[in-house]
Structure 1
Amino acid sequence: MGTIEKVRCSWSNKDKLYQDYHDQEWGTPNHEDKHLFEMLCLEGAQAGLSWYTVLTKRENYRKAFDNWDVKKIVKYNEEKVEELMQNEGIIRNRLKIKSVIGNAKAYLAVQKEFGSFDKYIWSFVNHKPIVNHYRNGMAGVPAKTAISDAMSKDLLKRGFKFVGSTICYAYMQATGMVDDHMEDCFKKKRK
């Protein structure tokens, strides 16, 4: 008697790295500030590249950016930027590296204003996940929405970088603000 394979969103069938990310994280609501900051920076790093490229470098990013400790990141100077530019384990784009530093400063300001980054970022979806129902694969899933447009506009106003609407929508999917799992995926919320 054979084992029954889990049905997943088709994009996650590339390899074990993608499957683990899909099964354990993507589309799962997350309210932990540090994780929310990490994902915002990683989604920004993805701009113009594939998510798979970023995912394969994720552990390197954690090491390079002091495990996403924003209080350390805000103190990075030009010497640290140059050091990061030499780090082959991350995407060596000066603007993207500098955006992490600027985003850390903006993130701390948001925490101070709202009490947590979670309270702020989840307010865009009224503090509960939006569950979408797509049947025809990822082709039917939008790249951005009115909500990701509003999030992008507000993040930019607050000084964040690499937070365009498409990046914001991918971020919403990654952190579970939006459930875009396919209808037949084992992770799909059924309610």
Structure 2
Amino acid sequence: MLQGGRGGEVRLKLYLTMTMLAVRSPHDIKGMPAIKWAQMLALPDPAGNGARRVADAHSWLDEAKLIKLKRSPGLPPDVTLRSPSGSGKSYSWRGSWWINMPVGFWSNEWIYRLSGIATAFLLVFRDMRSNRQEVNPPWLRGDQKARYGFSPDSWTRARAELEQHSLLTVRRAPQGKDFDFTRLRNTYWVHTERLG
């Protein structure tokens, strides 16, 4: 979703915002003009280039089967969420793994302050955190990092940005049993409470 430079940032933030708004069945948003989405996402030139970027993001999300667009001549499209798996099936968070994002992400303007890559990594670190405690933060091996599909440069940039905003604490911790080879690894703890 993030590939393609700034277009990826709009796709991710638009999709997150749509999932925050369309929480009840049938999980749809009727007739929201692209200019309103652009204003909501604080895109430059919302009536021109910002609206075009939103329209491009809508089309990409529709092609990826994450949303379904219903277009009517002369009207903004209606948006219906589809399964986050990209299968094209109806939207449902029941029976699948999901990550919540505190409403403070929007109400406290983190959606504007964080870049697209930092926003994506906020979700990654929330996924890693799962039901762990801060005294036992998660860590990842290189092959586990690869499952998220980000480059090492992306990890570095996102980590630095989240640390700068005091949303992430990275520590070095030994991994291994008492008599095993002990290796120092980075542990990651995302401070979701600071979003609120």
Normalized per residue, which structure has more strand?
2
From the CA coordinates, give the structure whose radius of gyration is larger: 2
TM-score w.r.t. the length of structure 1 is: 0.26
More helix by share: 1
Higher relative contact order (CA 8 A, sep 6+): 1
TM-score by length of 2: 0.25
